[in-house]
Structure formats: structure tokens, C-alpha cells
Amino acid sequence: MEPQRAVTVGPYRVGGGGPLLWICGPCVIESHDLTLRIAETLKSYADRLGLQLVFKASFDKANRSSGKSFRGPGLQEGLKTLAAVKDATGLPVTTDIHECAQAATAAEVCDILQVPAFLARQTDLLEACGRTGRVVNVKKGQFMAPWDMKNVVAKLSEFGTGNVLLTERGTTFGYGMLVNDMRSVPWMQETGAPVIFDGTHSVQKPGALGDRTGGDRAMVPVVTRAAVAAGCDGVFLETHPRPDEAKSDGPNMIPLDVLPRVIAECVRIRAALNRPDDATAT
């Protein structure tokens, strides 16, 4: 087992039993103004609840079920919006990239580069991300065992970065279903990297709506609380003011006004884990 390394993200430190990192935002940048409004609301939550919060939104959803589905504004316009979020709120930002050529450009704005689960084993993409010097968050492939993520960490180390986060987001279970094995959290922590739990994509039902992915947002708080109890170092939750009207991943996103309650529940669980041992108290 590797000793766990704390990773610095902007003003935050992740791992080693410290405060949870929260990665929150809409699935995709639907418009500049909406994205800024969501970010400003999340900033208010972070200030009120004392959170280490990173804003997330995708400039391109390159793996939509249908080629006709909304993908986002693209790299250049998307990064302009993320830069505006950073300027307006002071929050660190992250986005997912799909191609090697996007890494250096995204790194000019983003504090974390996210590698999607489908691409977790793509060596060239990992190298491109690693060589930017930014924190790299790699989502565990739905098709991978937790312990196989040690190879991802090793690749990134070879490319010069130890600033790695790993994200658990469910495992394929037959057709159209994902399940979570909470043992994935400590197993992936054995790599030395802090582990984030993705409550949003863990409840997806891939292809369940024919040309779209379905899901069950009611289960997001359930699996997220379980992951925090299992000792994860951070939580990834997508959110939207009106999820049923969202252009991507609506069935899995938490309504923006419900998010503080979910966060507060998880913070209480985390606090309970960090209490001094009182097993001998009478």
C-alpha cells in the first residue's frame, strides 16, 4: 500500500483525512449566463457551509448516446465561460477533455483536468494531461477493477505528475445498469491517490431512454452518503436549477436548491468519522 499523498487544488488540500473536496456544477455548459448563475449559487453555498469547492462544467460531451444530442459550446467558448466563472467567484474550475490536443489549452484555465471513464486507459491522453503540471482527475472505467487504477497512477508518475485524483463512478452490471462497490474507495486509496466519489454518474442507466442515458437521481444521496462513510476524500455531484429541462444527464443531476441538504448530510458523516475514539466512554 502506498502512503496517501495530499494533493493541492488551488487553495485546497485533498486527502490525508482533511476536509472533503466538492466538485460540483452542471453536466455541460448550456449557456454562458446560466453557467455563471449556477457558479455564483455554488460559491454562496461554499461560503455558507465552509466547503472546499471546485466548479465543474463540460465544454463538450463527446460521448453522448446520439450524434444529434447537445454537446456544448466547444473548447474555446467553453473555456471563456470557465475563465469567467473563475474570475467572478474565485473558485477553482475543472472540465473533462477527450483529446490530447485539448490538454494544454484547457490547462491554461482549469485547475484540474478530468479524464472521462471511457478514456481512463488512454496512455497518450494521460501523458498529455500529466505534462501540463495540472492536477489530473481520472475516472475509473466502468469496465475496470478498482485495483487496476494503480496502472493509471503509475503512468502519470512516469509522465512527471503525482498530482492525481481518482474517481469512482460505478461499475457496469449487465446491460443498462451500474452498481457501486464501496470497497472501491479504500482499494483505490491504496494507490496513494485521494479518491473522489461521483454520485451523479454512479446512478446512470446507460442507454435506458433509447437515444439518451437515463438514471435515478433519488439514489444520488444514498450512494453518496455511503461513499463518505467509506472514507472517500471528495465528492463529485452535478447539479442544475431545473434538471428535467437540462440538455445532458438531467435524470442524474440534483436540483440546485436541494444540493445544500445533501452536502450537509455528508459533512455530518465526515465529522463523525473524524471524532476522537470514544469507544471506552461510559
Per-residue confidence (pLDDT) for residue 280, from 0 to 100: 46
Alpha carbon 128 to its chain centroid, in Å, reads 19
Q: Does a structural domain hold residue 6?
A: no
In a domain, 3, yes or no: no
Residue 204 located in a structural domain: yes
pLDDT in tens, 178-234: 999 999 999 999 999 999 999 999 997 775 454 556 678 899 999 999 999 999 999
For the CA atoms of 270, 7, 104, 150, the dihedral, rounded to the nearest 10 degrees, stands at -90
Residue 114 falls inside a structural domain = yes
Q: Which residue segment(s) compose the domain that 225 sits in?
A: 18-273
Q: Give the Cα separation of 213 and 27 in Å (integer).
A: 13
Q: How many domains does the chain have?
A: 1
- pLDDT by 10s per residue, the chain, length 282: 778 889 999 999 999 888 999 999 999 999 999 999 999 999 999 999 999 999 999 999 877 566 667 888 999 999 999 999 999 999 999 999 999 999 999 999 999 999 999 999 999 999 999 999 999 999 999 999 999 999 999 999 999 999 999 999 999 998 878 999 999 999 999 999 999 999 999 997 775 454 556 678 899 999 999 999 999 999 999 999 999 999 988 899 999 999 999 999 999 999 999 876 654 443
Q: Is residue 100 part of a domain?
A: yes
Residue 86 forms part of a structural domain: yes
Q: List the CATH number of the domain containing 94.
A: 3.20.20.70
Here the cell at position 238 is: 452535478
- Residue 211 confidence (pLDDT): 52
Q: What is the reported pLDDT for 208?
A: 47
What CA–CA distance (Å, rounded) separates 121 from 101?
17
User: What's the per-residue H, E or C state across 123-173?
Assistant: HHHHHHHHCCCCEEEEECCCCCCHHHHHHHHHHHHHCCCCCEEEEECCEEC
Q: Residue 115 domain-assigned?
A: yes
DSSP sequence for 68-101: TS---S-HHHHHHHHHHHHHHH---EEEE--SHH
**Model's pTM, two decimal places?**
0.93
> Does residue 264 belong to any structural domain of this protein?
yes
Select from 231, 237, 238 the least CA-distant residue to 269.
Answer: 231
